[in-house]
Amino acid sequence: MTKLPRVKGQELIAALRKVGFEVVRIKESHHFLRHADGRCTVVPVHRGETIGPGLMSKILHDCEISRDELVPLLSQ
């Protein structure tokens, strides 16, 4: 198992879009994403800040994506 990657909010949103998530609304710095099958999550986008490991784990759990599935999406 790999360590959780440290990425910014915009990078994570770009990776999640590759697997079918779309931003449905934005409230201040929080982007609400939803997949066609009903999965949803919230990604905070703060300039210059990375998403911590706890929040990253929660987002991946909400999206039902493993750490190993996320890494290739970030490098594309």
Determine whether domain 9-75 maps to CATH 3.30.920.30. yes
pLDDT at 50: 95
pLDDT at 21: 98
SS3 of 9-62: the string is HHHHHHHHHHCCCEEEEEECCEEEEECCCCCEEEEECCCCCECCHHHHHHHHHH
Average pLDDT estimate for 32-42? 97
Average pLDDT estimate for 27-56? 96
Distance CA 29, CA 12 (A): 14
Domain range list for the chain: 9-75
Q: How confident is the model at residue 2 (pLDDT cuts 50, 70, 90)?
A: low
Provide the whole-model pTM: 0.92
